[in-house]
Amino acid sequence: MRPAFLSFLASTFGSCAWAVGVTGAAEGFAKGVTGGGSATPVYPTTNAELVSYLGDSSPRVIILTKTFDFRGTEGTTTGTGCAPWGTASGCQTAIDQNSWCTNYQPDAPKVSVSYDNAGTLGITVKSNKSLVGQGSSGVIIGKGLRIVSGASNIIIQNIMITNLNPQYVWGGDAITLDNTDLVWIDHVTTSLIGRQHIVLGNDASNRVTISNNFIDGRTSWSATCDGYHYWNLYFTGSNDLVTFKGNYILHTSGRAPKVGGNTLLHAVNNYWYQSSGHEFEVDSGAKILVEGSVFQNAGQMVETSSVSGQIFTSPDSTTNQACSTYLGRACQLNAYGTTTSYKGTDQGFFQYFSGKNIASASAASAAQSSVPNSAGYGKI
């Protein structure tokens, strides 16, 4: 074979190899995240390989081309839990994690629980990793992801996480962040989760972008006993900058999200659809800007009984001009259909956007037409 032709093959297949990996770039606070960068892609074929690649100290571009099922791999636990919402069909019961039933639900009926151990603690993800699904084949069943203890520069894109003990509170979280920086979660679908779909713990998660994800709250077991998941998005870090853009939040009943700690949340161009309860819980320390988003058949935009943080809901075109000083543009109006809106006019926290990477925003009408069709895995 001629040298020139060999050179052609090398350049051709080399460029194909480098093209595998992350699509696009993060907007907003996590702009600049590179994950595994230009590391040669690896293709795990077993659960053990996936765990090893995610948890080692090397920069990695990890491509998922199959389903990884962790159910049954770490055994099961049978014990006594509780039923805070009753024992009727469709109600979640709870694992007595950290004596939660004993300490917080002492009067709840005691029930027997049997759960899969793998779901209760996610796979450790260390720094400089890109985890990317190929097409619609990157699925993780029965175990979530855990980004903690100083891990940084991580991209999770185009995967599905599903079936984490959905009948039990404390059955597992899909994606956990705690003591992190520069994390981008993009085009991920989460479904049938026991506890939180995405949780940012009490330590600082710093710069995070959560974009184009499908939070699927449809379930046969819920804390509200109605098939609408209650534990969804929990943002309570001590120093968090969260861009939440282009996400589709479906069939929930609460905490979508719950915001507190010291969290600056920019919620832009999201689509909340079908809620039997509320979307935002505004706890002390929350600083929330909501713009260009759609709330359709979504119950209450804000749980009004306990608003103790700050929220700006882009209430009208005149008030929205206040965004210009710190975001460089006016904020976009939200849209409501069969939803109880909330007029939040707090602007005292706008100063915290100064000097940060700010996501762009389009009109709510654009989000309504595009987000349901573009959010989640298999949509890149």
**What is residue 15's predicted lDDT score, i.e. its pLDDT?**
34
Could you read off the pLDDT of 217-245 as tens digits, one per residue? 999 999 999 999 999 999 999 999 999 99
Whole-number mean pLDDT of the chain? 95
Q: Is residue 350 helix, strand or coil?
A: helix
Q: Which residues contact 187 (CB under 8 A, 6 or more apart)?
A: 157, 158, 211, 212, 213, 375, 376, 377, 379, 380
Sheet-wide strand order for 93-94:
110-116, 76-82, 93-94, 168-169
**What is residue 4's predicted lDDT score, i.e. its pLDDT?**
47
> DSSP assignment, residue 122?
P
Q: CA dist 108 to 4, 81, 101, 111, 354, Å?
A: 76, 9, 8, 9, 47
Residue range 291-309: mean pLDDT, rounded: 97
Q: Which residues contact 179 (CB under 8 A, 6 or more apart)?
A: 148, 149, 150, 151, 201, 203, 204, 205
47-77+118-374: which CATH topology? Pectate Lyase C-like (2.160.20)
Taken as a whole, the chain contains a residue count of 380
Given a cut of 90, whether residue 2 has pLDDT beyond it is no
Given a cut of 80, whether residue 181 has pLDDT beyond it is yes
Of 279, 290, 296, the residue nearest 339 (C-alpha): 296
Q: Is residue 186 helix, strand or coil?
A: strand
The encoded tokens of residue 196 equal 């939180």
Residues 60, 146, 255, 329: which is the catalytic one? 255
Give DSSP secondary structure letters for 200-259: E-SS--EEEEEES-EEE-B-S-BTTSSSBB---EEE--SSEEEEEES-EEEEE-S-TTEE
255 is an active site residue: yes
Could you read off the pLDDT of 39-82 as tens digits, one per residue? 999 999 999 999 999 999 999 999 999 999 999 999 999 999 99
Classify the phi-psi angles of 326: left when phi > 0, otherwise alpha if psi is within -120 to 50, otherwise beta: alpha
Of 198, 214, 174, 249, the residue nearest 377 (C-alpha): 214
**What is residue 19's predicted lDDT score, i.e. its pLDDT?**
57
**What is residue 20's predicted lDDT score, i.e. its pLDDT?**
84
Given a cut of 70, whether residue 120 has pLDDT beyond it is yes
- Sequence ranges of the domains in the chain: 47-77+118-374
